[in-house]
């Protein structure tokens, strides 16, 4: 072979290698190919079921339903092997449960499907005093689809596992496939913990399952029961949450039916109600996930959640598939504790299951409200008193802003006679611009500003909204009584009725909450008092006064079905604000304040850039109005 021929063969080899390298399938394409093969296998499975006049999914009771009564065992086993192959022996059995428990959780592991069939939280009860069960065997399922080497589709939910190792806090459930081949579901409940280790191990499955098997397809379905008295707000806080592997936590729409098809990898998936969650956490990741949330309008359940996903699987059995379950309360401190000692990009961020608001509102709750609330809880057992002290602390923190807002309104009030003189000097709509200019000039010379009272109020809004998010989601208030309220986490009805009233029942409810009613009354009183105090003598928009009184009445509708702890907080907060205003009113000498403003008029007036721009805009507007009036006269 000469030199040129050798170089030619080498170049051909390089080209072939490069072509193979750049055209190799991506992991996504491999996954898609595997799903196509699984789909073909499922079609074959459906064809087999049709030949037996059985629809897919109808063989959930027992495999014996497929066979004729009195059929010889030998014939029956042949049919089982023809249908289920190596898993034939696992198709017969009777469902039984194994109990795992510690001081916090009681789990029931079913031998049918080897799944966690039920979870009860020992320290909690439902609103009507029943044991708090997150899900039951009848209303939940966990199924893994397996494709055999001869393209038969079997589901773990149909097969019976055998417990091979068991104690009070752990169990190993084995799915036998014959000749030393098996899969094992291993559950381990940690002491004094809501976490459960869940591992899937396989032995000898290389010749049993399809050789292309590199992932396990999982279908997880669960109905969420109503646990709290207020169905409306519990439903609004019940949702399907999920965390991307290297990104933030998101959730499906909590108000209506929703679904999502996610190509990005997920770290965990959570079925969450108002105060409790079931979370499945992958050691590696979930891939190609489809999520679905369906609202159940009435009855004992709120929603049904469905997850269809896949996890990496080692067919040779050298590596196990590892998960962790969390069955527990949505308590911020507890969920936050799982991040300790973990690098930032590896943290679970389960604390985001607690709805504390977005952006700045969540920050206020995280770094201000919750630390104060937890600190007070260490020394006090009455949560009504804790809320009262928390309100005092917040009002003390906001005192400088409240004082500044009051001083702004006081300045406007003492200048009211002079404003009224300006109104008399420039009457009518045609002199509105002159009247406005003269009024602004008066405020500027006296050192008063209509906007200076608005800014302090705006700065208080993040705290008010943060409180709105915190109290309904604080599990610490659940079943805590105060005065006439038996449960600060839901409404405190003093009057109730059963008749459905259109419009009223869906939005207001069939009751009247006392704390909400007291909050509304104090807001109406404060509105009246504040409007009298802030009357500057300027003309107001038509209907503005009525609108101010409508707001407290709207609060009555919005808050009547919400947490009584929230209404109690707003009631105390508004009451303190009224007391503060009265103290300001009778301790601030308005004659001295007016004298100070009159002295400001004599000083050289230094215009700010904002005031200069405002006056220039007013001048241009006046010029434009004047031109329009002249044009009308010429006509």
| 530, 631: one domain | no
First to last CA, the chain: 107
Judge whether 526 and 578 are in contact, CB under 8 Å.
yes
| Structural domain contains residue 15 | no
Which element (helix H / strand E) includes 627?
helix 609-634
| Structural domain contains residue 63 | no
Q: Supply the pLDDT for residue 604.
A: 63
| 298, 415: one domain | no
Q: Supply the pLDDT for residue 544.
A: 57
| 283, 326: one domain | yes
| 325, 451: one domain | no
| 287, 309: one domain | yes
| Structural domain contains residue 559 | yes
Rg (CA), the chain: 35
Tokens 């034939």 correspond to 88
| 374, 506: one domain | yes
Which element (helix H / strand E) includes 248?
none
Judge whether 372 and 389 are in contact, CB under 8 Å.
no
526 vs 342: CA distance, rounded Å: 49
476 vs 384: CA distance, rounded Å: 11
Q: How far is the CA of 587 from the CAs of 64, 407, 580, 593, in angstroms?
A: 88, 12, 11, 12
| Structural domain contains residue 25 | no
| Structural domain contains residue 62 | no
Q: How far is the CA of 474 from the CAs of 355, 363, 487, in angstroms?
A: 9, 16, 12
Tokens 């409200």 correspond to 369
| 503, 594: one domain | yes
Tokens standing for residue 338: 């799982």
| Structural domain contains residue 17 | no
* DSSP secondary structure string for all residues of 204-235: S-TTTB-TT--EEEEEEEEEEE--SS-HHHHH
542 vs 24: CA distance, rounded Å: 72
| 264, 115: one domain | yes
Q: Supply the pLDDT for residue 216.
A: 94
Judge whether 356 and 362 are in contact, CB under 8 Å.
yes
| Structural domain contains residue 327 | yes
Tokens 């696992």 correspond to 90
Ranges of H-type helices in 300-431: 332-337, 359-364, 370-377, 383-397, 399-414, 416-425
Judge whether 206 and 287 are in contact, CB under 8 Å.
no
Residues 6+ apart with CB under 8 A from 86: 148, 177, 178, 179, 181, 208
Which element (helix H / strand E) includes 109?
strand 105-110
Tokens 């008295």 correspond to 229
| 268, 151: one domain | yes
The burial of 279, by beta-carbon neighbours within 10 Å (0-12 exposed, 13-18 middle, 19 or more buried), is given as: buried
| 286, 399: one domain | no
The residues of the chain scoring below 70 in pLDDT are: 1-82, 429-431, 450-457, 532-546, 601-619, 621-622, 625-626, 629-630, 632-635
Which element (helix H / strand E) includes 546?
helix 544-559
Judge whether 538 and 440 are in contact, CB under 8 Å.
no
Q: At what angle do helices 514-533 and 544-559 cross, to 10 degrees?
A: 160
Tokens standing for residue 82: 């023809």
| 452, 384: one domain | yes
Q: Among 350, 381, 397, which residue terminates a domain?
A: 350
Which of 469, 552, 551 minimizes the C-alpha distance to 518?
552
Q: Among 300, 328, 350, which residue terminates a domain?
A: 350
| 579, 630: one domain | no
| Structural domain contains residue 404 | yes
Total domains in the chain come to 3
Q: Supply the pLDDT for residue 165.
A: 86
* DSSP secondary structure string for all residues of 116-146: EEEEEEEEEE-TTS-EEEEE-GGGEEEEEEE
397 vs 388: CA distance, rounded Å: 14
Q: Supply the pLDDT for residue 609.
A: 58
Please tell me what DSSP assigns to residue 262.
Answer: E
Judge whether 456 and 338 are in contact, CB under 8 Å.
no
Instruction: Look at the chain and count its residues.
Output: 635
Looking up residue 291, the CATH number of its domain turns out to be 2.70.98.90
Tokens standing for residue 585: 């009113």
Q: What range defines the domain where residue 619 resides? A: 609-635
The burial of 123, by beta-carbon neighbours within 10 Å (0-12 exposed, 13-18 middle, 19 or more buried), is given as: exposed
Judge whether 146 and 140 are in contact, CB under 8 Å.
no
């Amino acid at each position: 072979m000469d030199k040129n021929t050798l170089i030619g063969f080498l170049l051909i080899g390089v080209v072939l290698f490069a072509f193979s390298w750049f055209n190799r399938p991506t992991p996504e394409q491999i996954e898609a190919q595997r799903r196509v093969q699984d789909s073909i296998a499922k079609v074959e499975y459906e064809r087999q079921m049709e030949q037996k006049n059985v629809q897919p999914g109808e063989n959930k009771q027992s495999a014996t339903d497929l066979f004729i009564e009195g059929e010889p065992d030998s014939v029956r086993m042949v049919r089982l092997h023809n249908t289920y192959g190596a898993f034939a022996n696992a198709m017969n059995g009777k469902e039984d449960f194994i109990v795992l428990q510690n001081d916090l959780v009681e789990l029931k592991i079913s031998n049918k499907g080897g799944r966690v069939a039920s979870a009860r939280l020992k320290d909690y009860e439902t609103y009507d005093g029943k044991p708090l069960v997150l899900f039951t065997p009848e209303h939940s399922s966990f199924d893994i689809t397996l494709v055999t080497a001869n393209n038969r589709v079997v589901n773990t939910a149909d097969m019976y596992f055998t417990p091979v190792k068991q104690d009070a806090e752990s169990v190993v459930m084995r799915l036998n496939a014959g000749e030393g081949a098996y899969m094992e579901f291993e559950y381990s409940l940690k002491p004094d913990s809501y976490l459960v280790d869940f591992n899937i191990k396989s032995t000898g499955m290389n010749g049993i399952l399809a050789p292309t098997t590199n992932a396990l397809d999982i279908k997880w379905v669960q109905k969420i029961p109503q646990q709290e008295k207020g169905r409306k707000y519990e439903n609004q806080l019940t949702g399907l949450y999920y965390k991307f592997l290297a990104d933030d936590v998101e959730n499906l729409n909590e108000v209506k039916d929703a679904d999502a098809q996610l190509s990005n990898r997920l770290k965990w998936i959570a079925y969450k109600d108002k105060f409790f969650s079931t979370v499945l956490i992958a050691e590696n990741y979930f891939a190609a996930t489809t999520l679905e949330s369906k609202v159940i309008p009435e009855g004992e359940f709120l929603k049904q959640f469905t997850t269809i996903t896949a996890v990496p699987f080692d067919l040779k059995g050298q590596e196990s598939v590892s998960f962790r379950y969390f069955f527990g309360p949505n308590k911020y401190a507890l969920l936050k504790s799982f991040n300790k000692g973990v690098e930032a990009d590896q943290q679970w961020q389960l604390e985001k299951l607690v709805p504390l608001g977005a952006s700045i509102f969540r920050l206020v709750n995280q770094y201000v409200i919750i630390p104060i609330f937890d600190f007070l809880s260490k020394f006090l057992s009455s949560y009504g008193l804790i809320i009262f002290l928390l309100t005092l602390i917040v009002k003390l923190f906001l005192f400088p802003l409240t004082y500044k807002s009051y001083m702004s309104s006081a300045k406007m009030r003492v200048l009211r006679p002079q404003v009224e003189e300006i109104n008399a000097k420039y009457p009518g709509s045609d002199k509105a611009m002159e009247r406005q200019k003269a009024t602004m000039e008066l405020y500027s010379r006296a050192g008063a500003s209509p906007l200076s009272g608005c800014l302090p109020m705006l700065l208080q809004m993040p705290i008010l909204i943060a409180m709105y998010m915190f109290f309904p989601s604080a599990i610490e208030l659940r079943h805590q009584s105060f005065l006439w309220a038996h449960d600060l986490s839901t409404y405190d009805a003093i009057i109730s009725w059963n008749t459905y009233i259109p419009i009223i029942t869906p939005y207001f409810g069939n009751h009247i909450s006392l704390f909400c009613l007291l909050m509304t009354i104090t807001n109406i009183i404060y509105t009246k008092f504040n409007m009298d105090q802030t009357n500057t003598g300027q003309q107001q928009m038509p209907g503005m006064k009525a609108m101010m009184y409508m707001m407290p009445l709207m609060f009555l509708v919005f808050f009547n079905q919400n947490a009584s702890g929230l209404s109690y907080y707003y009631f105390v907060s508004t009451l303190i604000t009224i007391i503060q205003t009265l103290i300001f009113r009778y301790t601030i000498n308005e004659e001295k304040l007016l004298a100070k403003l009159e002295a400001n008029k004599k000083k050289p007036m230094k215009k700010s850039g904002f005031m200069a721009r405002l006056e220039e805009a007013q001048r241009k507007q006046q010029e434009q109005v004047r031109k329009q009036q002249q044009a009308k006269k010429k006509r």
